[in-house]
Amino acid sequence: MFRYVALIALALAGTAWAKPAPDAANVLLKPTADQTQAALLATRFLTRFHYKAEPLDAAMSAQIFDRYFDALDIDRLFFTQADIDRFKPQRDKLGDAIYAQDLSVPYAIFNLYEQRVGERTAYARQQLKQGFDFSKDESYRYEREKAPWAQSEAEVNDIWRKRVKNDWLRLSLAGKKDADIRQTLDKRYANYLDRMRQLNSEDVFQTFMNAYAMAIEPHTNYLGPRASENFDIAMKLSLEGIGAVLQRDDDYTAIREIVPGGPASLSGKFKVGDRIVGVGQGESGSLTDVIGWRLDDVVDQIRGAKNTTVRLEVLPVDAGPDGKHQLIALVRKKVSIEEQAAKSSVIEVKNGDVTHRIGVISLPTFYEDFEARRRGDKDYKSATHDVEKLLGELKKQNVDGVLVDLRNNGGGSLSEAIDLTGLFIGKGPVVQVRNANGRIEEGRNTQTSMAWDGPLEVLVNRNSASASEIFAAAIQDYGRGLIVGEPTYGKGTVQNLVDLDQMAQNEKPTFGELKMTIQQFFRVNGGSTQLRGVTPDIAFPITSDFAQNGEQAFDNSLPWTSITAASYLPTSDLKTIVPMLEARHEARTASEKDWQAYEADIADARKLRKETTISLNEQVRRQERDEQERKRLERHPEVAAAGASSAGNPSPETKENAPVAEPGTKSAASGNIKRAETGSDAAGSAVRSVKQGGIASASGDDAHQDDGLQADERSLKADLAQEQARKNEKDVVLTEGSRILGDEIDLIHSDTKLAAQVLPHSALKNSVD
């Protein structure tokens, strides 16, 4: 979602050692009356109006029980089998508890979880004083999702011993000294518990309700009030606030990015890296110290109604911990979040003596301001409106073809998928939807003319899902453009938001929302993207673990099926041209060094992903690291040149930091498509924020370098530098996709008969010499 949601990093500042873990006798969390009522109301909708409505009986209760434990402890690092057995008598009675408005069991489970986190992290910190023998031949199983629960305290302690040993070895291989390693890891493990103790009743309730929602079907979620607000922001790409992207930086909330045109930017008083230490409401409200707060709690204090004042106490980026604070007052305004909006660029592709200008439209999500559209605002924010403007600009730049980049676009608004497709096909059906009663309706575009009728390509990958698949499938079925890349995700369902507060007539947001599957969608040709996705016309290597990334990775996905095709008239026929383009692609990439390096990197990464254990022998790890580094420098000589100035900073691609799966993967605690319809990974988000700090992953988060640190342990400066480095990396997939579109343009210009097949009639006059 947004960085202030995803980067909840609660490290500690200003001390050489981590502060002691809080006293174990902390306050136990309990459900509120509002939460028990919200659970009951949500159940009524889920059992009656879901596309796959199922009773909340003993069987469903057992699924909720298992999924809730998985959401809390997917890698079997905290609970033992005895803990599971302790609550087993309630395994098939959770449904009865919801109906009785008694949520004491899920909260008791969570409270035990928090206790176990305290015990495990205390053990981990104690291990740091023992030292390790890295000459022993033993291994650590870091992929534990399918592992059985530990049978004893001794067994779970041994898991943690190996985990700590692996953490130490990673830092050692990165060149850190023993004293620094001990300090870093002690602080890390202390912070695990600190994060846990900042979770609240709403976090627990949301995690439990998502265990229920997702036991029905993978894309059904419960969104608490805060998650609902973030969903709304994600869809309309705007909020009311100061216009700053925030990130945790030790105990502080730091400014990571200043949004152009927002109040913070216009004031001229802020710099990236400034730390917010206090927040006051209005022109004279008292200042609240926010050092050490959860990031989303600080965000709640800073956001507010438009034209209201917020005062920020700021420790400047260039000041030390005892530096002089500044007090800055800002008037909140509507701020546009352009990072997730459609963008355009032009790539020039040379084919022999001819240069083609390819207009690239990058679309991260199918966004739409639902409320503004309901109000009848003609200029409401939407993906279609923005793309239509960009197409007009690209025409003025005399582009020869348009490439729509939907890689990692997890979906969004169904109506936007329909309207945006219409920009390229004109009037006609785009998708068919079937509800739980079997009624089928067509989603039709009513725009008669195409905004772009020239050569078209859609670039997709495994993380292109939902609305992206509707768009790509329609373009393919109409023969309107090439689909290039990887097979898509395979999500073929439609979700709707149910405002539980509106149903209960609550004056304030209290109950949250359900994102509930209500329909299944089908292509205009009658097929479905469910499970199968969209198969590209020209396939690129699959970058992720296919078996674990996609709809088929879930055990309760809807099955594939088909219906009768809609009545539609294809605009073009690409069957003749595809083999020609594929032959050119294969011939070119067979000798293209960057592409060959890309394929080799993917092959290595996929091989590493299949492994579940890693050696804890230092000599073995160094040999593995050196071999991987040798391959990397051989494939990417530009890295060797750049690395000459940073010798001594190892940058291996080791097993434990193989490239992580991108948005769209099966998430342990949520399983939903990240950056998809919700715009936020609602299920168990707070619990996962703990895991993202390092508990649930043995892997580093950079595809090329392993510095042994967790994301929240790096300085803001280092984090921004890494982000910029990623942006500067060659995009060989986009480059090759553009070349393929250039090949199509070549063929069109050289063969009038072929052009008549490939292009819509309206484009022929301008496309054939």
- Catalytic amino acids? 466, 477, 491
Dihedral angle over CA of 289, 295, 297, 300, nearest 10: 100
**Cβ density class 5-33: b for 16+ within 10 Å, e for less:** bbbbbbbeeeeeebeebeeeeeeebebee
User: Cα separations (Å) of 702 from 603, 658, 660, 723?
Assistant: 17, 8, 8, 10
- Own/partner contacts of 573-577, CB < 8 Å, gap of 24 or more, are 573/479, 573/757, 573/758, 574/479, 574/481, 574/482, 574/537, 574/757, 574/758, 575/479, 576/754, 576/757, 576/758, 577/744, 577/747, 577/754, 577/757, 577/758
Give the C-alpha separation, 176 to 401, whole Å. 51
Angle CA(276)–CA(280)–CA(283) in degrees, nearest 5?
125
Give the C-alpha separation, 416 to 396, whole Å. 25
Instruction: Specify the DSSP element, H or E, that contains 300.
Output: helix 295-302
What are 46's strand-pairing partners? none
Counting every residue written for the chain, the total comes to 769
498, 220 Cβ separation under 8 angstroms: no
**Cβ density class 313-349: b for 16+ within 10 Å, e for less:** bbbbbeeeeeeeeeebebebbebbbeebbbbbeebeb
Give the C-alpha separation, 327 to 706, whole Å. 39
Helix (H, G, I), strand (E, B) or coil at 286: coil
3-state secondary structure 679-730: CCCCCCHHHHHHHHHHHCCCCCCCCCCCCCCCHHHCCHHHHHHHHHHHHHCC
Q: What is the 3-state composition of the chain as percent helix, strand, coil, each rounded to the nearest 5?
A: 45, 15, 40
Instruction: Specify the DSSP element, H or E, that contains 354.
Output: strand 354-362
Helix (H, G, I), strand (E, B) or coil at 358: strand
